[in-house]
Amino acid sequence: MLRAEGLEPVIIRSSCSEELLLPLAPQEYVMALAFRKGQSVFERLKEEGWGQEVSARAGAEEKPLLIISADTIVFKDGRVIGKPEDEADAFRILSGLRDDVNSVYTGVCLRIVSGGKAVTRLFYSLTHVRLGWYSDDYIRAYIASGEPMDKAGAYAIQGSFGENVLGIEGPRDNVIGFPLQMIKDVLKAISL
């Protein structure tokens, strides 16, 4: 999505755990994980000396750093549904989501560091997704494609599974796991 906006992001995977032990509401859960991921990346960049080579050059201004971290879950019947552990778990998840509505939450943490100042914004996006009926055979074939194995809720609406979506209430880009328009709106409101 960022490349479509003309940006070339550097993708740095967080090394932090994605498990939280405290009972949290779904929006608090995803925001806490987004913050944890962003903090992990920020600490790694500090250890690697981010910005020092730029600041060391005479007269050079420090380039601002923007870290965008996010985490997405599906929530249904009072349960957080993350990525499937294996194919059997994917089958169980997809069976439980068919012919019903699930809620997709994405928590986002934006951190901008520039000129010795730092600004952090934490927020979430919510979308309700109504899925139609699909057979057990369909689920098995979808799992065999490999697509659901790294997706919260074991599905991706931007892939072939999109044909099962009967309706969406809220931002579509949130269901993809990156609420770009909301991110752009929050970034516009930040001043350093």
| Residues classed as catalytic | 71
d(CA 165, CA 148): 15
- List, in sequence order, every beta strand (DSSP E) within the chain: 65-76, 79-81, 101-114, 117-131, 165-169
Query: Residue 68 is encoded by which pair of tokens?
Result: 């965008």
CB-based contact 116:89 (threshold 8 Å): no
CB neighbours of 94 closer than 8 A, spacing ≥ 6?
Answer: 134, 139, 142, 143, 148, 154, 155
Element (H, E) at 40: helix 26-47
Return the amino acid letter for 127: T
Query: Residue 85 is encoded by which pair of tokens?
Result: 């552990």
Closest C-alpha among 123, 131, 83 to residue 106: 123
